Amino acid sequence: MAPQSPYGTDEFDSRQFRTAMGQFCTGVTVITTLDADDKPVGFACQSFAALSLDPPLVIFCPMKTSRTWPVIEARGSFVVNVLSNRQQQVSATFGAPGQDKFATIDWDPSPAGMPVIRDNLTWVECDVEAVNDGGDHHIVIGRAKVLGEVLQDKPLLFYRGGYLSTEHPRVTPAQEELENFITWNGGDTWL
Ligand SMILES: Cc1cc2nc3c(=O)[nH]c(=O)nc-3n(C[C@H](O)[C@H](O)[C@H](O)COP(=O)(O)OP(=O)(O)OC[C@H]3O[C@@H](n4cnc5c(N)ncnc54)[C@H](O)[C@@H]3O)c2cc1C
Ligand SMILES: NC(=O)c1ccc[n+]([C@@H]2O[C@H](COP(=O)([O-])OP(=O)(O)OC[C@H]3O[C@@H](n4cnc5c(N)ncnc54)[C@H](O)[C@@H]3O)[C@@H](O)[C@H]2O)c1
């Protein structure tokens, strides 16, 4: 019989789960779109990631109670705005329920007219490619259509339920390893 581990617990509540998940530091995005009256809407979202290079896909997970998600689904496209460390207030605005979250936010239209929040680190306009079930969230896969310009600034980070900023905007050694990894064409021999 395998020895019993002295570590970990399989009895936890939602608060303990959030505390554990909060140890994973992420960036912050605001996912935006236009409603049926062409009014901009959006919500703050940390559950965003690049999913695939070929084809270029991204992923994000809105709560099933999100009021922005049905608008994105109806429009069929959205913009991922990657926030800079100067945009903590933007995150707070889009991270709470509100009637007109764009009332105090400067934005410009993307080529397809989608809302791009001004002074973000970068943005990507996507079409909704697929939607899967993810518990109390949807798992949304988007196909990247247009890339915005990149601002040389620091990212806004979300960690332990609070905001952080990096000291240095570029971390080169990890970048080099990542480049080697994504350009690796020697098969799966590392597995
Ligand atoms: C840094 C950060 C990261 C986040 N990451 C994610 C993420 O990855 N995925 C995610 O889904 N959310 C995330 N959130 C939370 C999300 O941004 C907020 O819940 C946001 O308000 C959702 O906006 P919405 O427009 O989709 O829905 P909202 O209209 O804001 O509704 C959100 C919830 O509030 C309720 N609500 C709306 N209006 C009222 C009202 N007047 N009175 C009472 N209740 C009301 C709705 O029923 C719903 O349950 C994040 C928040 C922050 C700050
Ligand atoms: N994925 C999400 O839906 C998500 C993520 C982050 C924050 N939020 C919401 O934003 C508000 C502020 O968050 P906070 O960091 O102070 O709370 P928190 O301290 O409870 O969150 C810590 C971590 O728990 C996870 N988390 C929190 N709420 C979640 C949810 N509804 N679904 C899935 N994972 C969740 C996230 O990884 C977050 O970093 C809360 O209302 C929270 O529900 C939602």
Domain boundaries, the chain: 25-161
Helix (H) or strand (E) holding 45: strand 40-45
Two tokens at 167? Answer: 């000291």
Q: Which fold has domain 25-161?
A: Pnp Oxidase; Chain A (2.30.110)
Which ligand is closest in space to the CA of residue 91? 1
**Pocket lining for ligand 2, CB < 6 angstroms:** 18, 21-22, 46-47, 61, 63, 95, 158, 161
Closest CA to 47 of 37, 34, 62: 62
Mean pLDDT, residues 57-77 taken together: 98
Give 186's pLDDT tier (boundaries 50, 70, 90): low
pLDDT of 7 = 87
Q: What is the largest CA-CA distance in the chain?
A: 64
Closest approach atom of ligand 2 to CA 161: 15
Tell me what ipTM this predicted complex has.
0.91
Distance CA 138, CA 121 (A): 26
In the predicted structure, residue 2 carries a pLDDT above the cut 90: no
In the predicted structure, residue 188 carries a pLDDT above the cut 60: no
Mean pLDDT, residues 175-189 taken together: 65
Q: What is the pTM of this model?
A: 0.90
Helix (H) or strand (E) holding 15: helix 14-21
Residue with CA nearest ligand 2 atom 19: 161
In the predicted structure, residue 30 carries a pLDDT above the cut 80: yes
Mean pLDDT, residues 58-73 taken together: 98
Closest approach atom of ligand 2 to CA 47: 1
Pocket probe mutation, ligand 2, options 13, 14, 17, 21, max atoms within 8 Å of Cβ: 21
Distance CA 143, CA 188 (A): 26
C-alpha 113 – ligand 1 centre gap (Å): 24
C-alpha 146 – ligand 1 centre gap (Å): 26
pLDDT of 108 = 97
Two tokens at 179? Answer: 């480049």
Give 191's pLDDT tier (boundaries 50, 70, 90): very low
Give 32's pLDDT tier (boundaries 50, 70, 90): very high
Name the residue with tokens 């306009």. Answer: 125
Q: What's the mean per-residue pLDDT of the chain? A: 92
Which ligand is closest in space to the CA of residue 28? 1
